[in-house]
Amino acid sequence: MEFNLAKILPFLIDGLLIGFVYGIAAMGMTLIWGVMKVINLAHGAIIALGSFFVYLLFVGPFQLHPYISLLLVIPIGLLFGMLIYFLSIHRVINAPYLSTLLATFSVNMIIIGLGTAQFSTTPRAIDFSLGTFHFGSITVLGTRLFAAGAAVVLTAALYLFLFKTTPGKFVRAVANNRAAAELMGIPSSRILALSFGLGTMLAAVSGGLIATFFPFTILSGGTYQLKSFVIGVLGGLGDPLGALLGGLILGALEGLIPFYMGTSWVPVVEFVMFVLILLVMPKGLFGAKK
Amino acid sequence: MKDSTNITLTPPRRASQHAGLKLWLSPGIWITLLLVLLVGLLPVITGNAATREVIFTMLLSVVLATNLNIILGYTGYVSFGHVVFFGIGGYTGLFMLSQYNAPIWLALFAGGLVAGTLAFLVGKAILRLRGAYFALATIGINEAMRAFVGNFPPFGAATGISLNFGIYQDYGGAAQALWMTYILLLGLALFSVILSYLIKTSKFGLSLLTIREDEDAAEVIGVTTPNAKTWSYVISAIIPGMVGVLFFFKNGNIEPAEAFRLNTSIETIVMVMLGGQGTVLGPVLGAAGYQRLRGFLLTNPLFKDIQLSVAGLLLLLIILFIPSGAVGWLRKRFPRLRKVLQ
């Protein structure tokens, strides 16, 4: 199989564009891990809820434009995440990590259970298109281009928040050393809730973006949650920018692997890589630089 | 000085022999064993096939939870993808049954052997990771294995392996084969409980409990932690591999999505937590209780559609308010029960 750039490039670009969206979902997961050492097993369910939120507003009586719904997802996702934090995680935040794992898993069960009862598991899709764009011989779907752009804007906004605002600095301080941050008078509970809200918001937004170009069910978040784990480990757990880069790597792999072996081998490569990186470079691919 | 000579004069072997006898007189093991035996014999006595199916699911959970408890409750390593051993055992067994027409006992043996070997190889690598990193790695192993088996032609790739119906004729027809599978499962459940108790009360078990409390301290006081961890992982994998063979032999076919269902793993963890991790009785109670609850919710018209949510809500309440599980709570609340509830 020869290396034919002209043939490969469209798939690579497609993969990279989707990789941006994976990156956002993973960024939410990694942010939560970085700040409070919680692996959020409700992440996938929240991604699916994000998809459904955009879908329901689109098909409902309002016929809301998906991108306007996405703007609504941001505050709602944030508040929803804070609610989850106070209801399920706050009490066990200092318990052994198995407790937080299972607490988030039980939230996952609750959402999936209600979601399945309400929406069944028939695949849904948003009938919406931004047309296609041509760059030379390469054709790109408008929705994917927009999603990648939104991912970049969101990442930039997150970094501005984390580095330029006081609450953002609080978040970083709590991530760095919660006990010390508390001694400095930082309200750590509220900051933890805020961080969980931010992570949830990122998951929900990525779900909303996914809904604009892939069909989905209430269960499909599980796949993206597993991808978030892989990406989070690739980029180094706790590093939001690493997550975006990890998302791009995963997207590129998903675009390229089908050229060399069957599509069904993609998850094999992904998860073998995941375990190997955990073993060899637990700080992630870019961890060495810091 | 006198004290120290006294200590050296006590022959250690006699003490342990004495303890060995006491082990079998302890009510802790008998309560658990009798519980499993009585419930397990119920369908055998009544001869009711419907009861048998209900208890089959329950015993399957008892086996998975009891064995998971060895690595999770005793050693303190959260194996999130433990279903991988159930799945690979099932695949090995069905491969032997369908390709080589192997007898069921050989398939069982092979399933346990492959699961144990996989645990040994994987454990050597990933047991170096601690905390959530280990949990994530076990998820990765399970997903990688599921994806790999889905591409592996000898195991039927994505379609899996189906057993020829004629295979049950060797065991006196399908009805007889189902009863035989049930009895074998009951045997493995009883064996799991005994094994779990023997490990907990042995020196090996003590070294596992030490690792759970503080791994670095365990190393300092002379526990060879890598070996102890690996062997506890291997032991916790073998019987799940064997019941994988039984389950899919009864099922008649196996496919990747069903064999390596991550949710099965997590449900098993929930059972161990419900009953009380690190105890012998806990996983048994947790498994039986969880399956009873599931059965109740699934048949109740009010909760039928949202049974998953109700189970999730209960789980959340237990984690938030009774984190040590039923047996742990009883032991804390009624100190006298500590002698009885192991």
Q: Do A275 and B144 touch (CB under 8 A)?
A: yes
Chain B (45-74) residues lying within 8 Å, Cβ to Cβ, of chain A:
none
Angle of helix A266-280 relative to helix A240-260, nearest 10 degrees, comes to 140
> CA–CA separation, A261 vs A263, rounded Å?
7
How far, in Å, CA of A55 to CA of A66, rounded?
8
Q: What is the chain B residue with the closest CA to A119? A: B305
Quick check: B201 contacting A, CB < 8 Å? no
Q: pLDDT tens across A48-76, in order? A: 999 999 999 998 888 888 899 999 999 99
Q: Is the pLDDT score of B52 beyond 80?
A: yes
Return d(Cα B221, Cα B84) in angstroms, integer.
33
Place of tokens 């719904």: A69
Asked whether residue A1 is domain-assigned, the answer is: no
| Assigned domain for A46 exists | yes
Task: Report DSSP state, residue A139.
Answer: E
Judged against a pLDDT cut of 50, whether residue B8 lies above it is answered with: no
Which chain A residues touch B126 with a CB distance below 8 Å? 275, 278-279
Give the type of residue at B101: N
Mean pLDDT of chain A: 90
User: In the predicted model, is pLDDT for residue B4 greater than 70?
Assistant: no
Q: What is the count of residue pairs from A and B with beta carbons less than 8 Å apart? A: 126
Residue A2 falls within a domain, yes or no? no
* CA separation for the pair B340, B342 (Å, rounded): 6
Q: What angle do CA B200, B206, B207 make, to 5 degrees?
A: 130
Name every chain B residue with its beta carbon within 8 A of the beta carbon of A110.
Answer: 308-309, 312-313, 316
Q: Kindly tell me if the per-residue pLDDT of B320 is higher than 60.
A: yes
The total number of structural domains in chain A stands at 1
- A18: domain range? 7-289
Measured distance CA(A225)–CA(A214) in Å, rounded: 16
A226 to B316: CB separation less than 8 angstroms, yes or no = no
User: A290 falls in which pLDDT band (50, 70, 90)?
Assistant: very low
- Residue B202 to chain A, least CA–CA distance (Å): 26
The CATH number of residue A112's host domain is 1.10.3470
ipTM value: 0.86
Query: CA separation (Å) from A86 to A33, A195, A204?
Result: 16, 12, 18
Q: Mapping DSSP to helix (H, G, I), strand (E, B) and coil, where does residue B64 land?
A: helix
Of the listed ranges A85-94, A211-220, A258-267, B185-194, the one predicted with least confidence: A258-267
In chain B, where the domains are located: 26-262
For range B53-65, the mean pLDDT: 95
Output the pLDDT for position A3. 62
Cross-chain Cβ contact A112/B140 below 8 Å: no
Interface check for B226 against chain A (CB to CB < 8 A): the answer is no
> pLDDT grade, residue A2 (50/70/90)?
low
CA atoms B69, B72, B78, B82: torsion sign: negative
Whole-model pTM: value is 0.88
| pLDDT for res B3 | 41
Instruction: With cut-offs at 50, 70 and 90, classify the pLDDT of residue B123.
Output: very high
